[in-house]
Structure 1
């Protein structure tokens, strides 16, 4: 970025990609503002940098981190909310950095006359997750026998070793609801997130989570994948990620054939132990 070159950065999740582009961006803008103060009076106003994020939630998270780094310094940082994109007076609003999703930025440019002509950081820094986890994460595969066995294994893990906070990923929102109902009966402080939640419920849920995904920002973590006999054809992709992170993987899993289809949605039995009233 300092050398005015495009950059594509690839790193595991939680390794500090946001910090890697925010720090030089703020430093570059600070130097630019000082130069304008002394040499080009009248050109200080205007957007100096734009950060594009694929989702609203990621944009909001990036904005929070940016404001933390810039605390105590004279940076004007704006998160492009729906209201700001539709009603913002960008000609009068002081703004050094805009953090937005693509569609909201495009709407503000077309409909609200957002001026990016003084955009200082002409080059692009793109970051994306490498398909592997941090070496700080201890990963393992556990054979559970059946879908009900997965539920039993999760309960046993909570009872023996797992310390909150814990994130459990499942295949669908229906399975997420089933697991939530099961764990709610076990005196476990549990919540559920899925596509049926309203945006407000989703935001409240995200803000209530204390640490995010496992092993972020150099912290150690643990990732456990429960599988059954029916899941074995899908283990190769997981094993590749584990092997790339330095974890031990049984040779028979690495010898499994690769699945060519990009999306895998295997049919699985219900994990619910609650009797079906319709039966």
Structure 2
């Protein structure tokens, strides 16, 4: 099945081909047809499955084909973090470039002037984080009464970050007649309740990246004690000299410590986590994407907004406590037809966690000898 066979129109097809995309991912195959029919969608999908395009493409197509466009915001995409908001905005920019669709992105942690200036110029699609959206609504810059399409992305992360109260303040401001696209990686009770309250006869789409990740990414493990991890990391990076490496730390303190160790060893790196300011996090991401630094150290929550097509290597410096998190982590490499590699550092005390991961993915990770580093 190609995008053309899904019913995608020529301007968007051209933009997809510019990016080298012709065949949709499983979540896009499932979600795009009902979204084009203006049905509500309940999507269960993790980062790395192509879910952003699954809701962005149908919205662009609907707005492009609208013969009587209203003045005002016609689509609202709500997402929990600045990084994810920027990622979605970039996606809209890529796929709407051959249309007249206008969009902007708003988020907190920065001055609002540039954002309010963009809103004054009128936009069709607004990508927003909840706090800044409510703030600008209160100031009178934003009205939601013309919304035709509403996306709630990463709903479970919204819950984790305490945004559910903000969402409950936003929902009554939306028109009753609209299409709602609801996406979440997991479905805890609170999210299930929220979804059932705002969706009308939704089409449920669900994909798991586990099998595809296992098949397309080369995965290995080093058995190394905790105190030996920093030297192993330095040796690997100096020997292999990869251009883009994402290193996962379990804690914010650990991420900062790894960054200091690597910088001291002459390896350009920065840490990204929740205690960093919005500007510091965005600077680190920009430096990483532009190859000013080759290594980014992240915690799991901070990494949710990282979307890099050609990420060469993922290193699990600390093994995650939840096996599914391992799948999410390594799924950031090997995208868009590129090859990917994931290395895991496992200490003696982490072996039970590794066992759980191997049980989940259905394979034993090949061991690399420390001398090979």
Shorter-chain TM-score category?
0.7 to 0.9
Secondary structure of the residue aligned to 1:192 is strand
Aligned-pair distance for 1:221?
A: 1.1
Q: Map 1:55-204 onto structure 2 (within 5 A).
A: 55-82=81-108, 83-84=111-112, 88=116, 93-112=121-140, 114-121=142-149, 122-129=178-185, 130=208, 132=210, 134=213, 135-144=215-224, 146-161=225-240, 163-204=242-283
Cα separation, 2, equivalents of 1:120 and 1:111: 22
Once the two structures are superposed, what CA deviation does each residue of 1:19-70 show, in whole Å capped at 9, x if it has no partner? Answer: 22111110011111xx21xxxxxx5312111111111121122112212222
Check whether the contact 1:85–1:104 (CA below 8 A) recurs between aligned residues. Answer: no
**Residue number among 364, 368, 371 corresponding to 1:249 in the alignment:** 364
* Structure with greater helix share of residues: 2
Which ranges in structure 1 are unaligned for 5 or more consecutive residues? 37-42, 251-279
Cα separation, 2, equivalents of 1:142 and 1:193: 24
Secondary structure of the residue aligned to 2:101 is coil
Q: Report the aligned-residue RMSD.
A: 2.9
Check whether the contact 1:88–1:112 (CA below 8 A) recurs between aligned residues. Answer: no
Cα pair distance change 1:113/1:180, threshold 3 Å: closer
Cα separation, 1, equivalents of 2:113 and 2:130: 11
Corresponding position of 2:49: 15
Corresponding position of 1:40: none
Cα pair distance change 1:196/1:117, threshold 3 Å: closer
Corresponding position of 1:260: none
Corresponding position of 1:225: 344
Cα pair distance change 1:12/1:86, threshold 3 Å: closer
Cα separation, 1, equivalents of 2:349 and 2:233: 18
Moved more, 233-242 or 61-70: 233-242
Aligned-pair distance for 1:154?
A: 2.0
Check whether the contact 2:223–2:345 (CA below 8 A) recurs between aligned residues. Answer: yes
Cα separation, 2, equivalents of 1:178 and 1:88: 38
Moved more, 133-142 or 89-98: 89-98
Cα separation, 1, equivalents of 2:350 and 2:119: 56
Cα pair distance change 1:236/1:6, threshold 3 Å: farther
Moved more, 86-95 or 213-222: 86-95
Which structure's CA Rg is the greater one? 1
Aligned-pair distance for 1:157?
A: 2.4
Cα separation, 1, equivalents of 2:260 and 2:112: 39
Aligned-pair distance for 1:80?
A: 1.9
Once the two structures are superposed, what CA deviation does each residue of 1:164-202 show, in whole Å capped at 9, x if it has no partner? Answer: 211111122322233223222433222233444332221
How does the TM-score come out when normalised to structure 1? 0.73
